[in-house]
Structure 1
């Protein structure tokens, strides 16, 4: 099968530039086109719109580029002078205004220059493929798809793919594979219907939530609180999400949906354009990109006081954080308790979620006969933790249908057909999904996808304790899974690491993969234990935990089998130290890692200082002499720098040059297992390193730099204390720069520094503050 080696994106707006950035993140060169600047006479000036877009990508926050250097892969161009450059592009993506006439004019212009067989796709979110290709040549229609990205393209995982009867399976597979493997997208095949899948349901849900809140006189704070946690919906809820998306976009999307949906679609029953929203938009209240929206920061205050709008009066008042009793009782996995509740919150939740879930069910089978695809679209496109049918399984389809009937609401056929059953079930160790014909179909993951959930469905853990489990991945590979709160590390976790090592050393197992399905690999050691120990003056317990962590990580590093860590999301503090002690890292591209301990007044104590010093001292690209490595590691740890991507982690040497990065989250575990098996053949444990460090002279230089920061107000008094302890460790203590420092000596220095810092009252204050507020204290 041919590949995608070069891409062109037409349209350098927010979406087009974001798509170009993600393609560059994948390591593929991309041309970014926009209209020429007609007033400019030189070539560079005519490309200024695209050049400005690339400049914004470099400065964007959240970052569109996984490394600023990726911008070099994006070449600015314009649609008058540079169309000849399309001749060697394998894929051309159009991301311009949602107007059929303008799009088709562009298509005809570009078709003269694209190479034969190059895929052409539109990023449209509101127009159907049939409209876009009407009247165009057969040769163009054969290569035309819709590839609907969600904004921002780097972070939103959904890609909706719409094909047509003329398009070959090969063309579809080409784009699907590239978007899956290289761009990290969850590709959902959609029929050519208005809004496709995610927006068809998501826009209905948002509109319904707004209309019902106005009808029932519900505050937006209460609405966001109740349409959130119990349903697995992000804490933004509805109104904060609309502020994020942009209020000015909604009228266009709603109008388009109203025009394109069939007359009997339930959307028409809730479609309206409230005067309040029109007024907000006219006054510049377009959401976060404007002066605010449903929420805003008080304009006459420097204290960043958050205000919420009253949907009836349009007046702003200080935003409240309502404590909703039924939400508190329901927790995260009991949505039915909320829907049953006869309170203001419960009635509002039912009015929104009953309509939304019934609407999603009504789309089967006409819009889609794939229940799993609908759930996937809402999970990846709207960040719902559970799709509509997964929610219905939690609620109980039979109960839901009965309540709909009691309110004389029509029950969709798929709900009637599932009856007392569930949409997803386990049968003989396999997961099954309710099919369009009323039968259950086995769920088969895509090739190269391995999910821990599927392993759990067919087997029991090899070992388990309250914080971690061991799972058999087959092929003699074990998987260590964390499952404490936020996957924090504690003595139970360390115990399971030791047991995993002992199990592999004494059995037929050959390798260990450290992985979990959580949104975060691990937030690091549980500092709550440190807080409790400090209150009880149980400092020997802290000393024991530090030594135990060092011994466990050291034993894993020098074990006679390969250890591959496979992080995604946050891997901070002690979790970052685990990556540093692993033989290899198979990181998801969206891995955020770093040694952040100084934020709570301590330093890395499980070998993080030691491993970073060895990495930087022995690296071929580090300038010679002991100080360059010491200075760099002092900066990384002392400033608690966190890599914002796996690529940045590689620049920080937390991830080695030969470690691998997986773009698609669903493929991380399979890739990590494959990497572990590669390492098994001829595996030899690493040898302990010895490095040259500057000793007292190096420490003096570092301490003088910190003192300068203190005098200028950039370092607090306790920053100076923590930095002094860190400089002692990194400079090698009382060593002579002509000698070598062993790994064990560095571990000893870490323990001594940790021992002193954890007893300091300012450290204890930092720990308490972090646990209470989630933010570091500058004391």
Structure 2
């Protein structure tokens, strides 16, 4: 199998530059080329401008500043010969066959034999792209369809030609999987593959049916929302996110390539409102707005939605339909009487029937189509998983009622389901009516698979413990949003004892969207409202002692975060032997934002790390100042690499690019630490004492004068300054971790009794955002 090291991307538009950034995020050199504009003095201006834009973009295409240095810019006139040094060339130029083929002929004259060549197209069949090209080129060619933005969207559709070298394609797939973090789905060489064909048809159905039923954009998006496992953007919000101006381009391509009678053609109608919006610059979030916009005319941000009949904007109103609010499952929405239920039926029955027709055409199996919609459109369930949730017989009856031609795959299903569990293994229905195990790629283990075959060793309402083999246990948070509470502390204590008696290592991991969003503020608010201060103090003490026990346990502990690891979740990472972090881990101590200070050892761990890091001048003040700056501003690392720079992760902590590989990598990391394991030695730090506290207070007051800090921010900063300066310590004395944690607890308890802190709690619980009081 050919090894891929260096990559070239030709086409420095939003997608091409984003793909280049993700290659760099993986630690590989990448050459980014584009054309030379007519009359340009700087012949690399297009690629260089793209790189500069990415450095400033939010969300950021790069995971670190270091990654950006791996991108070399150039142009296709002067630098094409450099392709002789690369292992994979990705073409991301304009969707015109003649332009692409002309480029391929030039690439073929300079590349070395066996270099992988791929196109990011999703509209031109591979068969057309390689028509008339040499045999050797056809062997090395494939389609690799990334999704925008390439850093954050985990899906890549892979299409091979009749002559594509399977070993070379496997090299590309392996690189995309392990290095770029992609879930690679094999699609057939059909127009739009799976994502664009099914997703575009679903979106167009959503728009047309809303017009037919007279629904507002808010009502339509509420229907196509949580009960179906669809992101809260719904359909109209999703169009705004992707861009209205992209729809006509995809539509035109699919119109010219899909066969007559395909459902897409029925949904692909010319909509005067959409045309007018595009002409006037209302192309979605990247333009002046779209179906929704923010009106800042009065100096405030007022969300408005467009009236689909008049085309005029009005204040956006959240739908207030009791049955829709009460609906928790897909079928409950489909059974609502009136326009909302008819809308749901009209969109989803047609979409699910269309998905069934794509099996054996766009892709060979149902699992691939489900994966595309889960990762390409962020659906919680794929279309065939939705059929199982709704009930196929009920759904087929509704399709017939609505005059929908029922696909054979659904018609023959009867009382079967598309997925089933057999001997603890998840199986998917095949087109021939048999079931086949869903096989994980080599090197992938998922906690959900273990959970199907065993009972937890320990469990309570907020956590569970699982045996993942090789004498390694997995501790899983199961509370809402994986928020930390007393039950997690209790079970973690018991788990430490269990591992100590019978096992070799512990991994802390879960398969939620976020590792942990921090402490359960709703519970804290309830306890505070009844003035049960003793219970809160007990929780703080329990967290400190549990995390300390975990830190000094006689076996290795590895944490494997993905998504947000905030507050108490971050403090878990600070107390383990090693972290195996998913690349998209967002880590930080954010307690000051809700009116508190970190009190489960976060302050003392960050002080220790920065003081011994060698990154700062010696002495007690530099490290304390750095930690004060980070915690007081609730700094959150926006990637695992940034977390390493901020020392939320240690220099030798590891990063996994593919979310599906995280547990296997964490388990391997834990096992690698078993032989000869020794817990860390307790450490002491020098802190600046009262003089340091004065300096921190002055810094906070400076923020207040600039309007950045609120009055309560100053109160919180004063308590944080007390902790990080060491209270009344002498600058020449060392402090151990118990002394610092005592300061953490004292400051925390003073703040939690402050009414302004409780007001922040209440705001977070009700709105998701802290009050700026």
TM-score (structure 2 length as normaliser): 0.99
1:363 aligns with 2:358: yes
- 8 Å CA contact retained: 2:420, 2:428: yes
Matched, 1:630 2:624: yes
- Paired position in structure 1 for 2:271: 274
Are 1:590 and 2:573 matched, yes or no?
A: no
Is residue 2:394 matched to residue 1:391?
A: no
| Cα distance in 1 for residues equivalent to 2:702 and 2:311 | 51
Contact 1:326 1:346 in 2 (8 A): no
Q: How does 1:512-551 map to 2 (within 5 A)?
A: 512-551=506-545
Secondary structure of the structure 2 residue equivalent to 1:471: strand
In structure 2, list runs of 5 or more residues that go unmatched: none
Q: Give the corresponding residue for 2:493.
A: 498
For 1:110-509, what aligned pairs fall within 5 Å after superposition?
110-298=107-295, 300-331=297-328, 334-507=329-502, 509=503
**Is the Cα contact below 8 Å between 2:582 and 2:655 reproduced in 1?**
yes
Aligned to 1:580: 574
User: What is the distance in 2 between the residues matched to 1:207 and 1:711?
Assistant: 52
Conserved? CA contact 1:162–1:190, under 8 Å: yes
Following superposition, the deviation at residue 633 of structure 1 comes to 0.5
Residue pair 1:10, 1:95 contacting (<8 A) in 2 also: yes
Q: Does 1:89 align with 2:86?
A: yes
Note the residue ranges of structure 1 that are not aligned, 5 or more in a row: none
Partner of 1:657: 651
Measured against aligned partners, the alpha-carbon deviations of 1:219-269 in whole angstroms (never above 9, x if no partner) come to 111000001111000000000110111111111111111110011212122
Instruction: Find the partner of 2:740 among 746, 755, 769.
Output: 746
Residue range with higher mean Cα deviation, 98-107 or 756-765: 756-765
How big is each residue's C-alpha offset from its partner over 1:753-779, in whole Å with a ceiling of 9 and x where there is no partner? Answer: 112111122212221222222112222
Q: Retained in 2: the 8 A contact 1:251–1:273?
A: no
- TM-score with structure 1 length normalisation? 0.98
Aligned twin of 1:35: 35
CA–CA separation in structure 2 for the residues paired with 1:754 and 1:681: 39
Partners of 1:520 and 1:571 within 8 A in 2: yes
Shift, 1:616, TM fit: 0.6
* Partner in structure 2 of residue 697 of structure 1: 691
Alignment partners' CA distance in 1, 2:296 and 2:251:
30
CA contact (8 A) 1:230 1:327 kept: no
Alignment partner of 1:680: what SS?
A: coil
In 2, distance between residues paired with 1:774 and 1:86?
A: 49
Task: Output aligned runs, 1:728-743, within 5 Å.
Answer: 728-743=722-737
* Shift, 1:68, TM fit: 2.3
Q: Distance in 2 between matches of 1:224 and 1:166?
A: 44
Over 3 Å off, 4+ runs: none
Question: SS in structure 2 opposite 1:112?
Answer: helix
Residues 155-174 of structure 1 show CA distances to partners (whole Å, capped at 9, x for unaligned) of 11110000112111111110
The match for 2:6 is 6
Secondary structure of the 2:388 match is: helix
2:640: which partner in 1?
646
8 Å Cα contact 2:125/2:190 also seen in 1: yes
In the alignment, is the contact (CA less than 8 A) between 2:551 and 2:576 conserved in 1? Answer: yes
Looking at structure 1, the residues matched to 500 and 411 of structure 2 have their Cα atoms a distance apart, in angstroms, of 54
Distance 1:68 1:134 in 2: 41
Contact 1:324-1:345 at 8 Å conserved across structures: no
- C-alpha contact (below 8 Å) 2:537/2:749 kept by paired residues: yes
Q: After alignment, is 695-704 or 474-483 more displaced?
A: 695-704
Maintained 8 Å contact 1:564/1:582: yes
- State the shift of 1:406 in Å: 3.0
Q: Can you list the C-alpha shifts for 1:514-564, whole angstroms capped at 9, x where unaligned?
A: 111100001011111221122111111111110010011000000111110
| 2:84 aligned counterpart, secondary structure | helix
Residues 488 and 526 of structure 1 are in contact (CA less than 8 Å); yes or no, is this contact kept in structure 2? yes
CA separation in 1, counterparts of 2:170 and 2:762? Answer: 53
| Structure 1 residue 124: Cα displacement | 0.4
Q: Distance in 2 between matches of 1:300 and 1:488?
A: 39
Taking structure 1 as reference, are residues 406 and 37 closer, same or farther at Cα in structure 2, changes over 3 Å only? closer
Shift of 1:622: 2.6
Q: What CA deviation, in whole Å up to 9, does each residue of 1:85-125 have, x standing for no partner? A: 11100000010110001111111112111111100100001
Post-superposition Cα deviations, 1:727-757, rounded to whole Å, max 9, x if no partner, equal 1111112111212110111111111111211
Counterpart pick for 1:552 among 546, 549, 562: 546
SS of the residue corresponding to residue 635 of structure 1 reads: helix
Does 2:95 match 1:98?
yes
The CA distance in 1 between the partners of 2:353 and 2:281, in whole Å, is 35
Q: What is the Cα deviation at residue 685 of structure 1?
A: 0.8
Residue 565 of structure 1 is matched in structure 2 by: 559
Conserved 8 A contact 2:239-2:284: yes
Matched position secondary structure for 2:412: helix
Q: How many residues align?
A: 773
Shift of 1:624: 1.1
The equivalent of 1:726 in structure 2 is 720
Q: Is 2:706 the counterpart of 1:712?
A: yes
Contact 1:38–1:46 under 8 Å retained in 2: no
RMSD, aligned α-carbons: 1.1
Q: 1: distance between equivalents of 2:313 and 2:694?
A: 55
8 Å Cα contact 1:467/1:483 also seen in 2: yes
In 2, the alpha carbon distance for the partners of 1:126 and 1:26 equals: 28
Partners of 1:361 and 1:40 lie apart in 2 by 51
Comparing 673-682 and 621-630, the one that deviates more: 621-630
For 2:449 and 2:684, the matched residues in 1 are separated by 44
Q: In 2, are the aligned partners of 1:470 and 1:480 still within 8 Å (CA)? A: yes
- Would you say the 8 A contact 1:229–1:327 is kept in 2? no
CA drift of 1:299 comes to 5.9
Do 2:92 and 2:121's aligned partners in 1 also have CA atoms closer than 8 Å? yes
SS at match of 2:426: strand
Q: Matches of 1:542 and 1:33 in 2, distance apart?
A: 58
Determine if contact 2:352/2:387 at 8 Å carries over to the other structure. yes
SS of the residue corresponding to residue 308 of structure 1 reads strand
* Secondary structure of residue in 2 paired with 1:537: coil
Q: Work out whether residues 146 and 156 of structure 2, in 8 Å CA contact, stay in contact via their aligned partners in 1.
A: yes
122-131 vs 730-739, greater mean Cα deviation: 730-739
What's the offset of the Cα at 1:367? 2.6
Distance 1:342 1:40, change over 3 A: closer
Structure 1 residue 408: deviation in Å? 3.4
**Residue of structure 2 equivalent to 1:72:** 69
